[in-house]
Amino acid sequence: MTLSGNQKRKMKSASRLYAVQALFQMETSGQTVDQVRVEFLDFRFGAAVDDTADMIEGDAELFEKTLSDAVNNQGTIDQMTDRALVAKWPIARIDPTLRALFRAAGAELLQSETPPKVVISEYVAVALAFFPEGKESKFVNAVLDHMAREARPEAF
């Protein structure tokens, strides 16, 4: 079966959401990257949630790369995030969901060919999924813009 461009974009978007969830789960549960990766790929991608909603199938390759890059480059990503945050709010003090989001987005900014503006837009959408009121998404946009300019200045 050949996927349309729209289906591929939805799968990539889902993978970014799953990567944030997986990084959050690792931090809060103490599970290893391998445990979480297997759980997501085996039980979350495309899983039926209830009678009315299904989890969308994700792009497994993007999910695994984002997760791996976020873990392997966590120190660098956290330092980039700290520089983008106000001095009074180091990464250790922010919401763990946002911390996971910045790590996943930072991994893509450092390790992928995806244009920074696409990465920012995608992760702002993830922030809106977790925080529908909207103020966090504006914060995420500002922090990721700063991170992107540091990680890939040639793209601006």
Least confident of 48-57, 61-70, 78-87, 88-97: 48-57
Q: What number does CATH give the domain 7-155?
A: 1.10.940.10
**In the chain, what percentage of residues exceed pLDDT 70?**
92
Q: What percentage of the chain's residues is helix, strand, coil (to nearest 5)?
A: 75, 0, 25
What pLDDT shows up at residue 25?
A: 97
Instruction: Please state the pTM of the whole predicted model.
Output: 0.92
Place of tokens 């984002």: 66
Span 118-133, mean pLDDT? 96
Span 75-88, mean pLDDT? 89
Whether pLDDT at 27 is above 60:
yes
Read off the pLDDT band of 89 (50, 70, 90).
confident
Rounded distance between C-alpha atoms, residue 26 and residue 97, angstroms: 11
Least confident of 43-47, 59-63, 96-100, 149-153: 43-47
Span 22-51, mean pLDDT? 87
Rounded distance between C-alpha atoms, residue 129 and residue 126, angstroms: 5
